[in-house]
């Protein structure tokens, strides 16, 4: 077994460019290695697998006018996401604890995706004026019903049961059994069957909250626009629908508009690589043309005042052609050469 451990626990293992390169180099070295039969990817510390990418560095690069460096990071990150999905040997991931943003890109495209009672998965990009990436739009597009739109727009957090229900994970294993899973992956006679090994320790989690919420989620988030989604939420009798409407009205209007279109567009794409290419163009569109990304990172992660000043400030002010312009944006260099 080849083992890759994210080892930046002070930042909940948020990945920087060097870590992305290191993972890719390990996968390259092991792809044809005769003694490596499977890969384990996990994180150090007890707070989480990976809190995402280093978006503070992204903000600094944009402010410095170095968009090329920022796009270089995303290019390598997305190539790694696709490589994990297509890797010829099975990759087992322990998405234990916080697994968000870039952490989803590492965990949720793997062969065997294990979550625990501590797992908290999310794609919270709209909260920083951005859009789900790292193949997140592909995963969200294929979640049951309108769960994908709900998660994409709200940035909502999933526990283990939710993640399995939404298609972001496969198996629930208690955190105190993860060492036993590691041991079994190394010592069992047939290491080519990690799914069967995971199932030895798999327990049935409680029911996902989505099972009881599908009626109002599917009704509201099927609406054509974000404005109409909010209106439908306010017509629902469920208290959670009303709080969701309140939340959406605090998110970046441009990010909400583009994200809704991106998830729905991803449903019609041919595969993960196509979704990553769409996301890559959107990243550059946000970074080069939209002030909200820099402002959202400032408000949430730099100054932490949680008071972003979005431009435009309301959905009513978002130009009608915004999503079309974003989705038709041509990046300065293609993702796939």
Q: Look at phi and psi of residue 256 and say left if phi exceeds 0, alpha if psi is from -120 to 50, else beta.
A: alpha
**Distance, first Cα to last Cα, the chain:** 32
Q: Is 223 exposed, middle or buried (0-12, 13-18, 19+ CB in 10 A)?
A: middle
Of 317, 310, 307, 316, the C-alpha closest to 290 is 310
Question: Quick check: bond before 170 cis, omega within 30?
Answer: no
Would you name the residues annotated as active-site residues? 53, 102, 125, 133
Give the DSSP per-residue string, 5-41: EE--GGGTT-B-HHHHHHHHHHHHHHHT-TT---EEE
Name the token pair of 195. 């799914």
Q: Look at the chain and count its residues.
A: 337
């Amino acid at each position: 077994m080849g083992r890759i451990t994210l080892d930046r626990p002070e930042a909940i293992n948020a990945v920087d460019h060097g870590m992305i390169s290191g993972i890719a180099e390990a996968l390259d070295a092991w792809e044809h290695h005769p003694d490596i039969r499977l890969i384990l990817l996990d994180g150090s510390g007890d707070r989480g697998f990976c809190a995402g990418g280093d978006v503070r560095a992204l903000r600094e690069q944009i402010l410095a006018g170095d968009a090329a460096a920022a796009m270089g990071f995303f290019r390598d990150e997305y190539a790694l996401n696709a490589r994990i999905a297509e890797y010829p040997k099975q990759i087992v991931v322990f998405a234990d604890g916080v697994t968000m943003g870039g952490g989803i890109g590492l965990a949720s495209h793997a062969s065997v995706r294990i979550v625990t009672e501590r797992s908290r998965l999310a794609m919270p990009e709209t909260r920083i004026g951005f859009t789900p990436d790292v193949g997140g739009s592909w995963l969200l597009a294929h979640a049951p019903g309108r769960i994908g739109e709900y998660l994409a727009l709200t940035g909502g957090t999933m526990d283990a049961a939710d993640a399995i229900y939404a298609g972001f994970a496969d198996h629930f294993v208690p955190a105190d059994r993860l060492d036993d899973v590691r041991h079994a992956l190394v010592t069992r006679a047939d290491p080519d069957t990690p799914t069967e090994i995971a199932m030895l320790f798999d327990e049935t989690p409680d029911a996902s909250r989505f099972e009881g919420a599908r009626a109002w989620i599917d009704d509201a988030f099927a609406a054509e626009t974000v404005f109409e989604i909010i209106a439908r939420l306010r017509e629902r009798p469920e208290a959670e629908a009303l709080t969701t409407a309140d939340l959406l009205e605090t998110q970046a209007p441009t990010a909400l508009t583009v994200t809704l279109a991106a998830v729905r567009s991803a449903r019609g794409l041919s595969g993960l690589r196509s979704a990553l290419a769409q996301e890559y163009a959107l990243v550059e569109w946000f970074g080069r043309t939209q002030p909200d990304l820099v402002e959202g990172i400032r408000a949430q992660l730099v100054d932490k005042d949680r008071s972003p000043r979005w431009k435009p400030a309301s959905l009513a002010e978002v130009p009608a052609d915004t999503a079309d312009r974003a989705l038709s944006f041509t990046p300065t260099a293609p993702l796939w050469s």
